[in-house]
Each structure stands twice: as structure tokens, then as C-alpha cells.
Structure 1
Amino acid sequence: MAFAAPLAAQEEDVPGAPPDMPTPSPEVGVAPEPEGGRPSLDQLFAELGQPEQMGWQRIEDAIWIEWSRSGSASMDLLLKQGRDALEAEDYDLAIEHLTALTDHAPDFAEGFNARATAFFQLDEYGLALEDIRRTLELNPRHFAALTGLAVVLEQMGDEARALTAYQKVLEIHPHRPNVKEAVERLEFTVMGKRI
């Protein structure tokens, strides 16, 4: 499953979808845990933003794990069911689970992000954009939602705004797969249209 856009052929999966959810390990490249628990999202993003960060994938995985915690076991189950349905390409079922999640946990950004992915897969760009907007309202550092926004905008032919969204992704996550290439490609295209 992948977004149908020039980035899609290179992207590891759907830009708004998380990787398989590993357990983060305290290996090289991951911010050390503060006394009393896991590193904070601020610590993880500080580490992720380092241009020479070799352990960025583990840091990204740790961020996804944090983003996937709603604080409620039943909401976490709805997210898992929605993601499982996305993986099975049953987008209608995914939307059903994720709508239940967003209805019951309207401040949980990951429910909106996952549902945006399902809407995109059904070519419901307006609904996908609305869920991306809500995701970014709740979590402005959501690099996957920003990547999804860029893909949708590019798919709709709005290359200048897609370029801006991709550039914002790189400000947050300079290691995001294929985003640098998308920026270079769109810079060339957008500059060519301006000439």
C-alpha cells in the first residue's frame, strides 16, 4: 500500500502510516532515558533533528510509539484495529474503527492521522486533508502527516505548496526517507514554472 504520487514509488510505505511498532531500545543514537522513565518527545525530536544522527530510525520508532499511546487501552485497541485494517487494505473497515477512535478521543492526533491515510487510499482527498489538518493542529511536529499533506498537494497539482510542506518535514526530520529527493525534484519543477 502506498500513496499514488511521484514519491510513492520510492516511499517505504504510506507516508502517514507508522512502521511496524518495535520496542525502542536504549542503543546508540537514542536519547538516554531521564530518571523515572522514557525520554520525552522533546528529547527525541532534539536527537532526531541532528543532521548526522546515525540512529535516526530507532528515534523515529520511539516517537511513533509515543504518538501511539492514547492513555486509554480501549482507544489504543481501536487504533490497532484501524491500522490492521489499513495493512489489510480494508479501508472502509479502517475508517469505521478510526472514526470510532476520533469520536471518543478527539484530542488524539494519531487517530486522525491514520484515518487520513485510509481516506487518501479511497481518493477522498478533501476528507484526508481535513484529517491531516486536525492531526497537525493537535501535533504540529507530526512529520508523517506533513509528508502526507505534501503527497496530497502534489497529487492535486499544487506543487508549490507541496514543496513547502516537504521542506517543513525536513526541518523536523532531516532523515525522512525520500523527502530530500522530493524537495529537489519539486524545486526544479516549481522554479521552471516561475521562469
Structure 2
Amino acid sequence: MTRTLYRNGRIFTGDESRWADSLVVDGEEFIHVGTEDSAPPADAAIDLGGRIVLPGFTDAHTHLLMMGEALGQVGLTDAHSLEEIQRRLLAARRTAPGVLRGRGWLFDAIPGGEPTAAMIDEVVADIPVYLDANDYHSCWVNTAALAELGITRDTPDPIGGRIARDALGEPTGMLYETAAQLHAWAHR
């Protein structure tokens, strides 16, 4: 195994000392994090040039802040049909303060996989409804939300996103990628 000293860094430790200036890796194992003076002998050294080193973490692409906000929204991940989604929205409408937000719906719960504002309007038409898809890459809204956002047939698609439209060019209630970010999510 090759033992490598990483020196001259700002290494965040998370413990009481918070920072170290070196670490030693033996194969795939960290065997030292601390001062260079106290480091065991190494076969090679890499100068970090004062760079910061942080503990590794795996980004599971979770949209962490949105997931936290979602805890107070209507849960739709296990709603396996449009009828179930509509039932939950109708039940939540009774206590909604003026805007209804939901999260986690799946495209395969919607007939043809193409949600429309009209599908939400059937049960909640009087207040804006914003429903984030399970992957947080799109937002399904009702007619009241389209009006609140000022989205019309003349609203251009943003770069990197799309406002779904019917054959006549009218918005259908689906906002994809940056259209969801710039319109629905910026309006929270």
C-alpha cells in the first residue's frame, strides 16, 4: 500500500479542534488527521496549497430545502391515480389558508402522463394550487395559479425549461425545469 501525506491544507475535522493542516491516507484508509509534525511517515506527499478539505458526502440529488418544505404539504407520492390525488386535494382545501401546495406526485398516476390545470380545477378552482413532482423537476398548477403567476399564451419558455401548451398555445398547467423554478418556486 502507498501511504500518502496531504499537507498544507485547511482540513475540517468537525471535532473540537475544527481544523487540521494534514492528513495521511494508507490505501483507502485515513490513518491520521492533525498536524504535519505529528503525522506518521509517508511514501508520498501532496501539497494542498492551503486549500480547504471537507468530509465527503454523496449527493443523492435530494433537493434538500424543497424536501424540508414538503413536510408541510399534501403528500402525493403514494397516490396512484388522478382520483386519489383529487381526493387528497379536496380534503386539504378545507384547511388551506389561500394557497394549496402538494408534493411528490408521479406521472404514472395521471392518465396519459399529462397533467392539466383542468384536472386540479375539478376539485380546487378557487385558490392557487402548486404540486411539485416527485423528482422536483416540474410543477403542476391549476388555472388560479397560472393567473397568479401571470402565465399566459404570450409567456415565453425560459432557457432550459418549458411551459406545456395545448394545440392552441394556451398553458396547460405543467411547468418543466426552469419554468417551474422561475415561476412557481420563485413565488413561494
TM-score by length of 2: 0.32
Of the two, which has the highest radius of gyration?
A: 2
- Structure having the higher strand fraction is 2
Q: Which has the higher contact order (CA 8 A, sep 6+)?
A: 1
